[in-house]
Amino acid sequence: MREQGLEDAIKAVGGVGALARALGISQPSVSSWRRVPAERVLEIEKVCGVGRHLLRPDLYPEAPTRMALAMDAAREKAKSDDVDEMDRLRAAEYGLLALLLFKAPTAAVLESVAELTGDASPLGMAHLRLAQAASQTSVESAGREFFNLFVGLGRSELLPYASYYLTGFLHERPLAEVRAAFVELGMVRQDGSREPEDHIALLFDVMSNLAAREIGEGYETEKAFFTAHLKPWAARFFADLEVMRERPFYAAVGAVGRLFMEIEEEAFSFDA
């Protein structure tokens, strides 16, 4: 019988065969394991994103820094004086989009979104349109939109994963690269979901925390994460969401996301 740490690693990558391929060894070798071999703990941690303290608690009793990828509310970010107002606003933008893309909005979330304000800029106008869409959307309607777009019967209308947008398939190299980045940042997922880490909502939550300087080493870490894991595909995803006219609330979310990604990409194209 396998120990829980090995079971978690196998589930995280999608099966025994997937773990064997990621490690470059035969499937029978992995099938014969009762627990994660001591010499492979760090390698498997990088491949699957499961912390070493979970893979082999007997060898690594201390957990790394925990970061809760909480999606229950768009949290207020970074109140310390060493984070400027622009980064606070960016952190909030990432947090809001993460919240709306991770699960269907509650009545309280819709009420908050309906109170968004904006200016005459393209992003400001998109905020106003999103606020209007939220004010005209019921919880039931937003829930149906979310289900059809991201869950579906058989297959959803959109697949919000880096692997899919970059390779055409799920659970591919982009996911492994995101998991390696999670390990590098010392992060352990606490959201309780089974969504792969390359889900756009999880990536946006990371960016929210990076912008708020809650994790990472500042601008360079933030720029590197965005460039590697969002720049190649996120704007395309939001453009696809924006044209979903039969899903008016989430089409408005798509417009905000697309414009925000364009702004972020331009900003990161300059040196700090």
The predicted pLDDT at position 192 comes to 64
Return all residues near 170 (Cβ < 8 A) that are at least 6 apart: 159, 161, 163, 164, 196
**Spatial contact of 44 and 55, defined as CB atoms under 8 Å apart:** yes
Let me know whether 118 and 243 are in one domain.
yes
The predicted pLDDT at position 53 comes to 76
- What is the SS3 assignment for 170? coil
What are the DSSP calls for 176-210, one per residue?
HHHHHHHHHTT----S-----TTBHHHHHHHHHHH
The predicted pLDDT at position 55 comes to 87
Domain assignment present for 80: no
Q: How far is CA 87 from the centre of its chain?
A: 19
Let me know whether 152 and 223 are in one domain.
yes
Q: What is the dihedral of CA 166, 168, 170, 172, to 10 degrees?
A: -50
Domain assignment present for 109: yes
The CATH number assigned to the domain holding 10 equals 1.10.260.40
Domain count within the chain: 2
The predicted pLDDT at position 73 comes to 38
- Full residue range of the structural domain in which residue 115 is found: 85-268
Express each pLDDT in 246-258 by its tens digit. Answer: 999 999 999 999 9
Q: In which residue are the tokens 């704007």 written? A: 235
Residue 153 φ/ψ, nearest 5 degrees: -100, 105
The predicted pLDDT at position 76 comes to 47
Residue 256 φ/ψ, nearest 5 degrees: -60, -50
Let me know whether 51 and 93 are in one domain.
no
CA distances from 146 to 102, 178, 219, 220, 234 (A): 9, 24, 33, 34, 18
83: left (phi over 0), alpha (psi -120 to 50) or beta: beta
Domain assignment present for 65: no
Q: Is 214 exposed, middle or buried (0-12, 13-18, 19+ CB in 10 A)?
A: middle
The predicted pLDDT at position 272 comes to 52
- Domain end, chosen from 36, 55, 74, is at 55
Q: Which residue numbers in the chain have pLDDT < 50?
A: 62-79
CA 2 – CA 165 distance, rounded (Å): 34
Tokens coding 33: 């394991």
Q: What is the reported pTM?
A: 0.73
Let me know whether 49 and 127 are in one domain.
no
The CATH number assigned to the domain holding 96 equals 1.10.3480.10
The predicted pLDDT at position 74 comes to 39
